[in-house]
């Protein structure tokens, strides 16, 4: 129970261990087990989205500051964030609910730019907005607007095909969905592209920094890519979009929920040079920086090379790499470094950059 000197801090929403402890220790205490009808993927699974009656359901609020940043804006982010959380369970997102919370004084031209961006991103993801809500609050610290985007997704033939391929190599595989808890020893970990681009792009806009090379956000919907991967290659067991807390947080989620160790190789993790340089200059760990257009994929080892080849043949996945594997030699996440040592990759306290999504 909270004491009179306990307050919410920015870390409660920063996607690391503080936020996870808050969700487990507070949110789940009040919301866990409510009217439980034996949902397929319930709240307590704390996966990217829930599954209710065969439908994937997700709600995601977006508070990025500033609302326009290099490579994107809050509208594109809101659609992509929700679509990607539905897509990583293996479902195809079909419909969204858009809740706009606007700050008094937001220029209408800015609002229209954001609405158009939402529209364009929906067209790209082939998803509809079917309901929504608009509220306005007094001038303050909102930064112009925040957006809640909720959505639903459905099973597809591609997901069924993927599961048939998984069962070819793992006969006891029982899950109907792509879940964080599905990893087993021997699986390979594939990353769809470079890390750190989104967080550093937003930080540069927040602080008015320029890092020499052009750093732009990777924000994009990945549902089309993911559906093709499932249908044309298959063998995918777990997926996550490494947003707040970055790759380090996503891999620790996998490790914890699957009860396995994950070994990754530093020299295989794709990072653009300007992002690497910015991280070094600012003392940030690129593994902990949020991404909005990448997916971490756990795949049965027999299909890993094929998944990699497929991804590299796409625009979204051209920088993909097999970055590691699942092991029983330790628990948690460890990285083989370029200088030959091995370092533990703990769950970050929280993403070092505030309000990136």
Of 85 and 187, the one with the shorter C-beta distance to Mg ion is 85
Q: Binding mask 8-47 vs Mg ion (x if CB under 5 A, - otherwise)?
A: ----------------------------------------
Of 204 and 227, the one with the shorter C-beta distance to Mg ion is 227
Report in angstroms how near the CB of residue 62 gets to Mg ion at its nearest.
13
> What is the dihedral angle through the alpha carbons of 121, 127, 130, 131, rounded to the nearest 10 degrees?
-50
Examine residue 249 and tell whether it contacts Mg ion (CB under 5 A).
Answer: no
User: In terms of Cα–Cα distance, which of 231, 240, 247 is closest to 307?
Assistant: 231
According to DSSP H, which parts of the chain are helical? 17-22, 28-31, 74-87, 108-125, 157-169, 197-207, 223-232, 246-258, 273-282, 304-312
Examine residue 292 and tell whether it contacts Mg ion (CB under 5 A).
Answer: no
Q: Which residue is nearest to Mg ion (CB)?
A: 48
Of 98 and 295, the one with the shorter C-beta distance to Mg ion is 295
Examine residue 351 and tell whether it contacts Mg ion (CB under 5 A).
Answer: no
User: 77-96: which residues touch Mg ion (CB under 5 A)?
Assistant: 85
User: 96-125: which residues touch Mg ion (CB under 5 A)?
Assistant: none
User: In terms of Cα–Cα distance, which of 145, 162, 139 is closest to 226?
Assistant: 162
C-alpha distances in angstroms, 334 versus 6, 160, 244, 263?
34, 33, 19, 5
Joined tokens for residue 111: 């609002």
User: 173-212: which residues touch Mg ion (CB under 5 A)?
Assistant: none
Report in angstroms how near the CB of residue 47 gets to Mg ion at its nearest.
8
Examine residue 241 and tell whether it contacts Mg ion (CB under 5 A).
Answer: yes
Report in angstroms how near the CB of residue 112 gets to Mg ion at its nearest.
29
Question: 296, 191 in Cβ contact below 8 A?
Answer: yes
Of 197 and 241, the one with the shorter C-beta distance to Mg ion is 241
Report in angstroms how near the CB of residue 191 gets to Mg ion at its nearest.
15
Question: What three-state secondary structure class fits 188?
Answer: strand
Of 84 and 194, the one with the shorter C-beta distance to Mg ion is 84
Joined tokens for residue 20: 């996870």
The stretch near Mg ion (CB under 5 A) out of 167-175, 234-242, 255-263, 265-273 is 234-242
Of 241 and 321, the one with the shorter C-beta distance to Mg ion is 241
Owner of token pair 């609910």: 97
Q: Are strands 261-265 and 332-336 parallel, antiparallel or unpaired?
A: parallel
Report in angstroms how near the CB of residue 24 gets to Mg ion at its nearest.
17
Examine residue 48 and tell whether it contacts Mg ion (CB under 5 A).
Answer: yes
Of 241 and 316, the one with the shorter C-beta distance to Mg ion is 241
Report in angstroms how near the CB of residue 85 gets to Mg ion at its nearest.
4
Report in angstroms how near the CB of residue 254 gets to Mg ion at its nearest.
12
Dist. CA 265–CA 184, nearest whole Å: 18
Of 117 and 291, the one with the shorter C-beta distance to Mg ion is 291
Joined tokens for residue 12: 């409660």
Question: What three-state secondary structure class fits 98?
Answer: strand
Report in angstroms how near the CB of residue 40 gets to Mg ion at its nearest.
18
If you count them, how many residues does the chain have? Answer: 357
What separation, in Å, do the N-terminal and C-terminal C-alpha atoms of the chain show?
29
Q: Tell me the number of residues near Mg ion by CB under 5 A.
A: 3
The string of DSSP letters for 48-73 reads: SSEEETTEEEEEEEE--SSSEETTEE
Q: Give the binding site for Mg ion (CB under 5 A).
A: 48, 85, 241
């Amino acid at each position: 129970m909270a004491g009179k000197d306990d307050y919410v801090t920015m870390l409660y929403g920063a996607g690391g261990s503080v936020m996870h402890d808050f969700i487990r220790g507070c949110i789940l205490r009040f919301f866990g087990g409510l009217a439980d009808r034996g949902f397929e993927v319930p709240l307590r699974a704390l996966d990217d989205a829930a599954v209710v009656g065969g439908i994937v359901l997700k709600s995601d609020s977006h508070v990025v500051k500033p609302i326009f940043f290099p490579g994107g804006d809050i509208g594109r982010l809101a659609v992509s964030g929700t679509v990607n959380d539905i897509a990583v369970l293996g479902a195809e997102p079909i419909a969204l609910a858009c809740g706009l919370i606007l700050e008094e004084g937001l220029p209408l031209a800015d609002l229209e730019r954001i609405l158009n961006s939402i529209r364009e991103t929906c067209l790209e993801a082939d998803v509809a907005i079917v309901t929504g809500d608009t509220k306005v609050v007094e001038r303050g610290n909102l930064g112009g607007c925040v957006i809640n985007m909720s959505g639903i997704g459905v099973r597809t033939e591609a997901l069924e095909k993927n599961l048939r391929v998984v069962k070819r190599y793992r006969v006891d595989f029982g899950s109907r969905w792509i879940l964080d808890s599905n990893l087993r020893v021997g699986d390979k970990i594939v990353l769809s592209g470079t890390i750190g681009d989104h967080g550093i792009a937003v930080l540069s806009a927040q602080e008015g920094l320029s890092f020499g090379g052009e750093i732009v956000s990777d924000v994009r919907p990945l549902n089309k890519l993911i559906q093709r991967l499932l249908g044309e290659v298959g063998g995918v067991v777990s997926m996550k979009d490494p947003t707040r807390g970055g790759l380090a947080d996503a891999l620790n989620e996998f490790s914890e929920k699957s009860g396995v160790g994950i070994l990754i190789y530093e020299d295989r993790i794709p990072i653009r040079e300007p992002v690497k340089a910015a991280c070094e200059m600012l003392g940030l760990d690129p593994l902990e920086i949020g991404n909005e257009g990448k997916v971490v994929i756990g795949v049965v080892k027999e299909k890993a090379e094929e998944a990699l080849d497929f991804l590299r043949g796409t625009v979204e996945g051209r920088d993909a790499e097999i970055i590691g594997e699942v092991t029983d030699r330790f628990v948690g996440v460890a990285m083989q470094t370029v200088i030959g040592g091995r370092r533990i990759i703990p769950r970050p306290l929280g993403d070092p950059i505030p309000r990136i999504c």
